[in-house]
Structure 1
Amino acid sequence: MIEEIALAGTHCFEAGAVLGDLTTINYVFGPNGSGKTTISQGLASLSATDGDAGGLAVRWGQTKPTVKVYNRDYVRKAFTSVDGEEPGVFLLGEDGGEAYEKIKAIEKQKAKADHKVIAAQTNLDQRLAEAKKLRSDLADTIWLKRSVIPVLVQQRMSGLRGSKDQCLEKVLAAAKAHPLRGNDDFDALSKKTVAAFDDSAKERPLYSAAPELVWDEAAFQAALKTPIVGSADVPLMDLIDRLSNSDWVHEGLEYLNSGENTEGLCPFCQQKSPAALAGQLAIVFDETYEKKQAEVVGFLAIITQAIAALEQYKIINATSLASAVGEEEVDSAFHVLMLGLAAAEKAMNQKLLKPSDKVSFPSVKADYDSLSAIVDRANDDITKTNTVIAGRHGQRNLIVDEAWREFARGHLNELLNSHVKQCEQSDRVNQSFRDTIRTQGDYSEDHETQLKELRKKTTSSAATIEDINRFLELSQFHSIRLAAAKAKKDGYRIIREDGQSADIETLSEGERTFITFLYFYHSLSEVRQEHESDRVLAVIDDPISSLDGDIMFVVSALIRMLIEETRIGNHDRVQQVIMLTHNTRFHNEVSYHHNASSSSATKYYRIRKYAPQPNAVEDCGQKNPIRTAYQELWDEVQTAATHRTKQMPWLPNVMRRILESYFTTLGGEKNLYEVGAELLPVERALHNALIAWSHSGSHTIMDDDVYAQNSAPSGHWLDAFKRLFEKTSSGAHFGHYAMMMDRAQAYVV
């Protein structure tokens, strides 16, 4: 069915004019010349696959029905062929009962298959829309994450800056080609990019090896932790051990033998030293002692040389390494290693100062290894860069490919894996919907083939001739009727009472309008022909032109039947109705079924004519905008009842016209005062005041007294008005009051 008709493309409607949110039954009211025929002519040119015609832009729903339009063009063209004949309207024949049931059963099966196709397609479309949204969100996220890529590398990644979709395609392709992250991050790729794309870049020499650990740290540790003391087996050694003063005694020996001690005094007591003292001390501090001390001196020299070598290496390489690897890391490595060597040097000096002490020595091997690793890493970068420079032209595509790989797997990996998982799950579900669409579509086609064969065998146009002729006879059209065509197989022709073919041009406007409408009306129930769809959109544009009052009621009754069957879904083929008219009486005749209640299956539209300016369309929803003058009077009473405290200067005139229309014109009461004869005295006094007030307010509204009356709230007059219907004739008139007020409620704000 049609969901919306945009009218802006026509010459008579303003920009933005639209018949929107169309439902099953749609009433369009507009004066002559407002554009109704433009709408019906545009719809008449539509086919089930056409979306734009006559300046109208049509938005279809899930199904595209065959469009059948009754308007003045239809009336003018019907039965005007050379032979004056029209194709038959094919209905099931009388002998097709069994076939009819079979057709209905197959149609039901086909409808079930079609419903499954539509449901599966709807679900598939919804899931595809959701997938499209997820893909769009992914593209947005990836687009915002491009900043992680160095600008130099970005400039070489074709597609990164073009569009979000193009960027997404590149990322997905890279992720598919490379399941895992590569070895190069963006820092490494930046260096390669410079080497590969800068033709002036030259190969660089490697850094000299970093200083290495050239001593045995275990031997160093042993030398520092082993006390250096005398070892001779002499009585003096026992005393030295007990006093633990080996270092002090050794210093005294050096003083005893030095040239400064010219008097030969004892270094410990400053008395004349015994002759055997020097010999005994020399035995205590023998060659072994001297050898151990010399070992510590040797170690100190090695460390001193290592410090000098490290300082020299730092002077030559530190600045260059810092630019290649990172200033903080390089400075830290040199600083830590220098501190370690300084601590080792300090430990050796402490051991030489007090050989008998156990001294701790910090390991510097890890510090040497850290510095060596930095140099190796820098050399590795240089080697890679030199390799790129040597074959730069062949490396460029590889570098760009690795850049996409790093972006996809190094920075978007979790996001992409989640997306791929969602897509795989969605694809499995979507495939099941596609399978359903294919399978059920095949079923539907098989059923359609069976239906075509059955319809060929069981349909006839004769039944339509009988129905139309019966309508003509009952409607007092005795001068014309339909008969079987002579030239067209199963077709129709118009004949006169004597059986002679009637020229369509000799028919009166009323005859021509009525018989063509009957033909159109029956065609809506026709068995679907090969070029048609299962469902029909019926468009009816002012079908009562040139019809007298009696025939108008017949046409109205037929349209009401059509509308009601369509509204509740009982019509064999009609799915949607668009009714256009300018005649208020006809409009209310065909729509009065809906006046007492609203239904989502029914909508009203009104065309506002602003000639020579373009016309506008008013969407009235489920509220009928076309009402009788009598109904609109009750609207005013309901308005006053809803807003009882407001001043209503027009209310007297409204009440008088209602009372006169109902009690005088229809009821035959000549005197409105007498209508309240049955009321109680007090109530009757108020009734008489009401009648006087309504006459006074109606006829002499500019009078001072009346103005004073109308300035007061009108609640008590409304009560008297209601009481008149409620109390007179034993309440016989109250049903009318309740009905009119109830209907008016929908039109009061």
Structure 2
Amino acid sequence: MLESITIKGVATYDATGIQIDNLRKINFIYGTNGCGKTTLSKLIYNPTDMAFSDCDLAWKGNLPVNVLVYNKDFRERNFGKGKIDGVFTLGQATKEEIQAIDKMLLELEEIKNNGIEKKKTLEKQQEKKSQENNEFKEAIWLDIYKENENEFKEAFRGFMKKDSFRDKILEEFKNNEETLLTIQDLKEKSQTIFGRTPTILPLLSIIEFKKLLEIESDKIWNKKIIGKADVPIAGLIQKLNLNDWVNEGRNYITEDEICPFCQQKTISESFKRQLENFFDESFLQDITKVRTLSDEYTQGCQNLQNLLEQMELQQKGNPDSKLNIEQFSAFLRTLISQFVTNKELLGNKKKEPSRSIELFSTKEQLESIQNLIIESNKEITTHNDIVNDYTNQKNNLLKAIWKYLIEGHRATIETFIKKQEGLEKGIQILQQKHKDLQDKFVEINKKIREANKDVTSVQPSVDEINQILTSYGFLNFQIVPSKKEPNQYQIQREDGSVAESTLSEGEATFITFLYYLQLAKGSTNEESITEERILVIDDPISSLDSNVLFVVSSLIKEIVKTIKGNTGNIKQLILLTHNVYFHKEVSFVDGRTPKNGDTHYWIIRKNHNVSSIQAFEMENPIHSSYELLWKELSNSSKNSGITIQNTMRRIIENYFKILGRYADDDLIKSFVNHQEQEICRSLVCWINDGSHGLPDDLYIEQQDAVIDRYFEVFKQIFKKTGHIEHYNMMHRVVDEEKIA
């Protein structure tokens, strides 16, 4: 079952979004058109869509359930291909076969619930284990680390975080077999070994300078980069050696004819073309190469200089350095000087490409520095070989220190390990039980699929859809088997023609919804008709006639009853609608249970194109103007007879005439005998007269004597037409609000 929905960053839901928590078996979500209901249904249908990457569905026990979503997309998926997939149900199964499947389904449900409980217990055990772990970690951090931090700081290096320190304690407790020394012995040895002693020295980094040398020797620096010679203006530019000057001046040529050199109107289009031709593609490529290599060289020099200066600084402060720091510094100063000179030459080349330059080669200095580093590393290697024996002594001391610390807190460590082992054993048992339940679930589910396959049929679902269509006046089309493919059906007119493309919007919506209800009870796959599922219904009556509204609400209320009664394979319903009357009808089940713990209500609103949601839990928030009429009628003692007449008329018009399309004669004929019909007729005449006419004083005086009688007839109209539940519901809502 879905427990909560988070939707944000899509359509009318902003980055903050909304969260629908505490979802129950039955969930009614009201919202006007465009507020985001359909987006919500699309998220539930396909949460893996990239559009919903910031959204989330939270499932009970982290066990997703098959979701069947009814919205506009459902119709396009199932009725937009000229044929309809058959819906398998248990309609042809024997009573014994259905009972056998039901028994397995109950067993499957029990296994699933046990699995959820086992998982909760498992999570509690894991949480308890984690809590014990954290408490132990804090305890040894205070009692061991903090108490001995100054004394044995060298031993604690690398374990100065709580997690790593805990892991080290447990590792040493398990593996440390060193001889136990006294605290005095440990302190004396620590002063000797942890004092000023030779240590392993790291090797120096070998420098890379091949690329720098390649750039320094590139032929582009000797090349005079000038414009194209066969352009009319080339002769003058080259004769006066103005290549660089003219090239720089090109940057200042604008759309007008003003020359950036003489400030006269001498720049014609022909002159501009000659400049472009003079500084041709070859010129531009050379210029680009100069700039690219220059930037690369500058950056490479700076990186290498930084590396060498850092090495120089570190080695000067290292008393054990094996590097000939004096020669190193001398070579480095010369190298830096050469870098500076080359950078200046490169800057001149970039500014005046026609000049030929030759960069200083830094090869000698770089190789000299490299040789010093290589010689230093050879000495470091020799040094480290000598230190190795010292390292062994130090390691032995470190083991002795850990041994001392462990023995001083053995009871605490042993208690923790025993608790952890006990919890881990319990966790493993629970994990195995949970796995056994999962395996058993898979086994029984497989048996159910096989049993479904043996006793299912598509014909009962087709018969039921056609029967409902006929019962409610849809006589000019029905669902029939396809002649081409098995288990495929199509909508056909009485004359045999395919009706899908000619259905009205209301007809198409109604038959789509009936098909959806059959899918809710069955499946297009004969093996999975009894799988648990969740229904998400988005505005099923948006295109239906008002008289069909009651049919749809009645069908949904039957589903609501099965969900509340925990019968069948439908476990949860989420209904979204913008229709107040439909919401009122479908959310009312009987007059005795105005609130129910299995039912929750929400309203989605959109303000400034951003959707928000308000939860009402068990309190139905929808109050219509129609409901206000019932409130007014309940205050009959405070209203005149004329007001009561007008109120009764508006209720009958709203409920029976506008929504239900009942005429006055239909209401009158709903009574069995002639006398009751006349009483009803008199009521209709009375309320019409009171609401449309202007009675005289005598009639008004006699009005109070007949009000109570007509109240009873008013109630009987609802009873005789089969809508007494609606009458009771409206009275219940009004009475509850009076008490509140």
TM-score normalised by the chain length of structure 2: 0.60
Number of residue-to-residue matches in the alignment = 495
Whether the aligned pair in 1 keeps the contact of 2:90 and 2:457 (CA below 8 Å) is: yes
1-structure distance, mates of 2:496, 2:712: 59
2-structure distance, mates of 1:629, 1:75: 32
1-structure distance, mates of 2:469, 2:645: 42
Deviations 1:307-354 (A, max 9, x none): xxxxxxxxxxxxxxxxxxxxxxxxxxxxxxxxxxxxxxxxxxxxxxxx
1-structure distance, mates of 2:644, 2:6: 41
Deviations 1:691-749 (A, max 9, x none): xxxxxxxxxxxxxxxxxxxxxxxxxxxxxxxxx999x999x999999845532157x4x
Give the 3-state SS of the residue equivalent to 1:607 in structure 2: strand
2-structure distance, mates of 1:737, 1:529: 43
Stretches of structure 2 lacking an aligned partner (at least 5 in a row):
199-386, 653-682, 717-726
Whether the aligned pair in 2 keeps the contact of 1:513 and 1:546 (CA below 8 Å) is: yes
Whether the aligned pair in 2 keeps the contact of 1:634 and 1:744 (CA below 8 Å) is: no
Whether the aligned pair in 1 keeps the contact of 2:522 and 2:529 (CA below 8 Å) is: no
Residue 589 of structure 2 is matched in structure 1 by 593
Residue 521 of structure 1 is matched in structure 2 by 517
How far is the alpha carbon of 1:520 from its aligned partner?
0.6
Residue 434 of structure 2 is matched in structure 1 by 437
Seen in structure 2, the aligned counterparts of structure 1 residues 602 and 631 have a Cα distance that, compared at 3 Å, is same
How far is the alpha carbon of 1:52 from its aligned partner?
9.1
1:56 paired to 2:49: no
Deviations 1:553-586 (A, max 9, x none): 111111111122112212x211111100111111
1:577 paired to 2:577: no
Give the 3-state SS of the residue equivalent to 1:593 in structure 2: coil
1:627 paired to 2:613: no
> Matched residues, percent identical?
26
Whether the aligned pair in 2 keeps the contact of 1:17 and 1:616 (CA below 8 Å) is: yes
Give the 3-state SS of the residue equivalent to 2:616 in structure 1: strand
Residue 261 of structure 2 is matched in structure 1 by none
How far is the alpha carbon of 1:516 from its aligned partner?
0.9
Q: Which piece of structure 1 moves more, 509-518 or 477-486? A: 477-486
Q: From 486, 498, 510, give the equivalent of 1:501.
A: 498
1:517 partner amino acid: F
2:150 partner amino acid: V
Seen in structure 2, the aligned counterparts of structure 1 residues 134 and 456 have a Cα distance that, compared at 3 Å, is same
1-structure distance, mates of 2:422, 2:632: 62
2-structure distance, mates of 1:455, 1:736: 40
1-structure distance, mates of 2:402, 2:530: 52
Residue 103 of structure 1 is matched in structure 2 by 101
2-structure distance, mates of 1:736, 1:513: 28
Whether the aligned pair in 1 keeps the contact of 2:27 and 2:599 (CA below 8 Å) is: yes
1-structure distance, mates of 2:23, 2:504: 36
1:496 partner amino acid: R
Whether the aligned pair in 2 keeps the contact of 1:66 and 1:533 (CA below 8 Å) is: no
Give the 3-state SS of the residue equivalent to 2:33 in structure 1: coil
Give the 3-state SS of the residue equivalent to 2:589 in structure 1: helix
How far is the alpha carbon of 1:95 from its aligned partner?
4.5
Deviations 1:263-310 (A, max 9, x none): xxxxxxxxxxxxxxxxxxxxxxxxxxxxxxxxxxxxxxxxxxxxxxxx
Whether the aligned pair in 2 keeps the contact of 1:117 and 1:437 (CA below 8 Å) is: yes
Residue 114 of structure 1 is matched in structure 2 by 112
Whether the aligned pair in 2 keeps the contact of 1:85 and 1:488 (CA below 8 Å) is: no
Give the 3-state SS of the residue equivalent to 1:115 in structure 2: helix
How far is the alpha carbon of 1:93 from its aligned partner?
4.2
How far is the alpha carbon of 1:461 from its aligned partner?
0.7
Seen in structure 2, the aligned counterparts of structure 1 residues 156 and 74 have a Cα distance that, compared at 3 Å, is same
1-structure distance, mates of 2:105, 2:463: 26
2:735 partner amino acid: D
TM-score normalised by the chain length of structure 1: 0.59
1-structure distance, mates of 2:153, 2:631: 72
Residue 126 of structure 2 is matched in structure 1 by 128
Report matched runs for 1:192-341 at 5 Å: 192-200=189-197
Whether the aligned pair in 2 keeps the contact of 1:157 and 1:404 (CA below 8 Å) is: no
2-structure distance, mates of 1:492, 1:186: 90
Whether the aligned pair in 2 keeps the contact of 1:28 and 1:607 (CA below 8 Å) is: yes
Deviations 1:89-142 (A, max 9, x none): 111242543332322233333333333333322211221122122222222333
Q: From 733, 741, 744, give the equivalent of 2:737.
A: 744
Whether the aligned pair in 2 keeps the contact of 1:51 and 1:57 (CA below 8 Å) is: no
2:587 partner amino acid: S
How far is the alpha carbon of 1:395 from its aligned partner?
2.3
Report matched runs for 1:411-422 at 5 Å: 411=409, 413-422=410-419
Deviations 1:592-616 (A, max 9, x none): 227752111100000122033x121
Seen in structure 2, the aligned counterparts of structure 1 residues 426 and 150 have a Cα distance that, compared at 3 Å, is closer
Seen in structure 2, the aligned counterparts of structure 1 residues 534 and 77 have a Cα distance that, compared at 3 Å, is closer
Residue 608 of structure 1 is matched in structure 2 by 605
2-structure distance, mates of 1:410, 1:9: 57
2-structure distance, mates of 1:675, 1:398: 115
Whether the aligned pair in 2 keeps the contact of 1:24 and 1:576 (CA below 8 Å) is: yes
Whether the aligned pair in 2 keeps the contact of 1:25 and 1:601 (CA below 8 Å) is: yes
Q: From 463, 467, 481, give the equivalent of 2:478.
A: 481
2-structure distance, mates of 1:558, 1:445: 33
1:10 partner amino acid: V
Residue 45 of structure 1 is matched in structure 2 by 46
Whether the aligned pair in 1 keeps the contact of 2:9 and 2:17 (CA below 8 Å) is: no
How far is the alpha carbon of 1:159 from its aligned partner?
4.3
Stretches of structure 1 lacking an aligned partner (at least 5 in a row):
202-388, 641-650, 680-723
Residue 79 of structure 1 is matched in structure 2 by 79
Deviations 1:416-445 (A, max 9, x none): 222222223223333332332233333323
2:127 partner amino acid: A
Residue 395 of structure 2 is matched in structure 1 by 397
Residue 456 of structure 2 is matched in structure 1 by 459
Seen in structure 2, the aligned counterparts of structure 1 residues 158 and 479 have a Cα distance that, compared at 3 Å, is farther
Deviations 1:199-222 (A, max 9, x none): 449xxxxxxxxxxxxxxxxxxxxx
Q: CA RMSD in A?
A: 4.0
2-structure distance, mates of 1:140, 1:657: 77
How far is the alpha carbon of 1:589 from its aligned partner?
1.0
Q: From 489, 514, 518, give the equivalent of 1:492.
A: 489
Residue 6 of structure 2 is matched in structure 1 by 6
Residue 384 of structure 2 is matched in structure 1 by none
2-structure distance, mates of 1:735, 1:462: 39
1:157 paired to 2:156: yes
Give the 3-state SS of the residue equivalent to 1:154 in structure 2: coil
Whether the aligned pair in 2 keeps the contact of 1:85 and 1:492 (CA below 8 Å) is: yes
1-structure distance, mates of 2:621, 2:640: 20
Residue 17 of structure 1 is matched in structure 2 by 18
How far is the alpha carbon of 1:657 from its aligned partner?
6.8
1:545 paired to 2:542: yes
2-structure distance, mates of 1:501, 1:664: 43
Give the 3-state SS of the residue equivalent to 1:399 in structure 2: helix
Whether the aligned pair in 1 keeps the contact of 2:534 and 2:573 (CA below 8 Å) is: yes
1-structure distance, mates of 2:528, 2:64: 13
How far is the alpha carbon of 1:539 from its aligned partner?
0.4
2:625 partner amino acid: A
Q: Which piece of structure 1 moves more, 461-470 or 421-430? A: 421-430
Seen in structure 2, the aligned counterparts of structure 1 residues 483 and 150 have a Cα distance that, compared at 3 Å, is same
Give the 3-state SS of the residue equivalent to 1:195 in structure 2: helix
Q: Which piece of structure 1 moves more, 58-67 or 114-123? A: 114-123
Whether the aligned pair in 2 keeps the contact of 1:540 and 1:580 (CA below 8 Å) is: yes
2-structure distance, mates of 1:158, 1:619: 55
1-structure distance, mates of 2:131, 2:392: 40
1:407 partner amino acid: L
2:520 partner amino acid: L
